[in-house]
A and B are shown apart, each in its own frame.
Chain A
Amino acid sequence: MGQIEWAMWANEQALASGLILITGGIVATAGRFTQWYFGAYSIVAGVFVCLLEYPRGKRKKGSTMERWGQKYMTSVVKLFGPLTRNYYVRAVLHLLLSVPAGFLLATILGTACLAIASGIYLLAAVRGEQWTPIEPKPRERPQIGGTIKQPPSNPPPRPPAEARKKPSEEEEATAAGGSPGGPQANPIPVTDEVV
């Protein structure tokens, strides 16, 4: 289990806890239960936790699947620098946020789940994990014609002038009915078809 990044699971757990806090808070407020103002707090705390936890951090190894539309929240969360990068801060923050919701039965489930998430974040922090934002990859402009290879600009190396002269003399000789020989011996007479 050496390579598990606990923060990833803590993130899922905290996101779920946020949703549970919101739901419990709505039920308590709508039903006007006794001490329903804790429910109102729970809704606010739940929304805050959800917004904070929505952008998934980058995994150390391998590729990370982004949540849909998370780049907007990533830029906001990034702004807080070490406060959001450090998981100790998150662990303490979640623990503190979960406490007031524990006074109401409707939201106590959210408290328990958020407290568990806080515990997992503590474990992640102890193991030195950090939240790194997933940066959008800079779009490489497709270079038009970048892969087209230009034809060589220099002619291929040719033998020195003397050697070059010989075939033309031979051609004159064969044209005049001479014997084949020299560098190129064509079994069948070759005609140059280029106009």
Chain B
Amino acid sequence: MGNWVVNHWFSVLFLAVWLGLNVFLFVDAFLKYETADRYYYTRKILGSTLACARASALCLNFNSMLILLPVCRSLLSFLRGTCSFCSRTLRKQLDHNLTFHKLVAYMICLHTAIHIIAHLFNFDRYSRSRQATDGSLVSILSSLSHDETKGGSWLNPIQFRNMTVEYVTFTSIAGLTGVIMTIALILMVTSATEFIRRSYFEVFWYTHHLFIFYILGLGIHGIGGIVRGQTEESINEGHPHKCAEYFEMWNNHDCRCRRPEFEGQPPESWKWILAPVILYICERILRFYRSQQKVVITKVVMHPSKVLELQMNKRGFSMEVGQYIFVNCPSISPLEWHPFTLTSAPEEDFFSIHIRAAGDWTENLIRAFEQQYSPIPRIEVDGPFGTASEDVFQYEVAVLVGAGIGVTPFASILKSIWYKFQCADHNLKTKKIYFYWICRETGAFSWFNDLLTSLEKEMEELGKVGFLNYRLFLTGWDSNIVGHAALNFDKATDILTGLKQKTSFGRPMWDNEFSTIATSHPKSVVGVFLCGPQTLAKSLRKCCHRYSSLDPRKVQFYFNKENF
């Protein structure tokens, strides 16, 4: 428990502040509308649901402001870059941007529900008071005319007795935009569930652009001024506390109390969302501008098991280890951008990605590149964007775990190490790297084998055999493979991969690995980096907590996960 707190204190603090602000804004607005004199008469008709609706509206404004910020990738990368002097914990927070985006979205859904339910009650009460003929306060208030010439300033938006609430909803700007916004929100949420996102990414990506309707609707939602409060001068003439009981005599000329006058609230949503919208528009313009720059494909390699390697060049492109880019191929799909980790090192004069066939777009891309006789399709690139792998060289000891195609960010890191040793870079803070590669079949990653072989050789030549400690785990094994391995036990190199390090079968026993590392490096800070499935992340995170000692001077494991 202690370790969890040490590793997550910043996230907890951040979320607590966010939740606290939400609660504060809600309660503050609720009390304001429950007690203010301006809304005395409005409350007579509507009751507490007025305050409910307004409080949730304020929270909706607040969260709509926040929702666009975590998806401004370029802004986050920029913050990450400029904050290199910031502590590790602060930068790790930027990795959780998508989680925060989802949390804010859930909060928006919750407040939308509260807001709609409150307004349903409001409309019903307005409708009833319009229909009331008993001469009560509410019926008199409701009959205040909409006619501007008579100096009338109305309170009840339902003008005529036979107007239904549905009519008012669909003919007022607030109602219509509300319905459009809510439907857009629901469609966005149902297409963004984990299942749909992972299985049919395009549905999620295109539907999520309905947020444009949401933002536009939010901007003009309050224009009609349906929320009415008494004007200042009307309150000065006759304070509601004094005049409310004499409502029957408002029409009499000799009564001191006049008919109250009301004015609408000006829209305020636009004030909240203007800045993030501008930031997001800049972000999209920047992405578009970067994507228009020419990308030259220098080499195309088809690896076995349908893995395509593209080596490219782009003017002004500079990367760090483990970053990713978004790739678009206009001939396959003009609007889709898909993320891929860069597998080349910053020291190389090109940048490369390895693409595995995993769905519609990737399969079409690989097929397009396989055509021998047609020209190479044009590629657009946006990025690079930074993720946790950039931090690998900040740790004295790094544990890199790649599962399946998740090995790609580490390809970049290991290549970079290769180059650093070539140039005899002794400033490297990292003293030891433990690399675990877990995959179902080695055929898919034979391209990575070459890299490991050349690294092995280089380490031997430089006499630094202890620097890189790697182990390969093959999880999709059967008795045939094991039989072969057993027969060739005495050979110096592994029969499957040709590497000096023998392949292990099955999954790694993390407890053993972590305790070995903890005992060999009792005083170091160890960074654990994973690119792989959620279940593996859970076990690694648990091990990190278990084997980090509570004493901050002794061994500490910090867990970092890539997420796409």
Contacts and interface: CB of A to CB of B under 8 A. Distances in A.
A12 B192 CA distance: 10
A27 interface: yes
Interface stretch (A74-82, A85-93, A109-117, A160-168): A109-117
A109 B182 contact: yes
A9 B203 contact: yes
Chain B contact residues: over half helix, strand or loop, or mixed? helix
B117 A8 contact: no
A113 B186 contact: yes
B200 A9 contact: yes
A20 B187 CA distance: 13
> Which 6 pairs across A and B sit closest by C-beta, in order of nearness?
A12-B190, A13-B190, A33-B124, A4-B200, A105-B165, A106-B120
A146 to B, nearest CB: 12
B547 interface: no
A56 B179 CA distance: 28
B117 A27 contact: yes
10 contacts: A1-B202, A8-B196, A8-B199, A8-B200, A13-B186, A56-B195, A105-B123, A108-B166, A108-B169, A116-B183
A178 interface: no
Pick the most buried of A23, A27, A28: most chain B CB atoms within 10 A of its CB: A27
Contacts of B442: none
Interface string A111-137: 011001000000000000000000000
Contacts of B187: 13, 116
Contacts of A108: 166, 169, 179
B183 to A, nearest CB: 6
Contacts of A153: none
Given A23-B113, A62-B199, A112 B179 contact: yes
A27 B120 contact: yes
A176 interface: no
A109 B190 contact: no
Interface residues of B, number: 29
A112 B124 contact: no
A3 B116 CA distance: 37
Contact of B191 (A3, A12, A24): A12
Interface of A: 1-5, 8-9, 12-13, 16, 20, 23-24, 27-28, 31, 33-34, 56, 59, 62, 65, 105-106, 108-109, 112-113, 116
Given A12-B191, A31-B121, A59-B199, A2 B186 contact: no
B189 interface: yes
A109 B116 contact: yes
B124 A9 contact: no
A109 to B, nearest CB: 6
B178 to A, nearest CB: 10
Contacts of B359: 3
A67 to B, nearest CB: 9
Given A12-B190, A31-B120, A33-B120, A109 B200 contact: no
B169 A105 contact: yes
B193 interface: yes
A24 B186 CA distance: 15
B370 interface: no
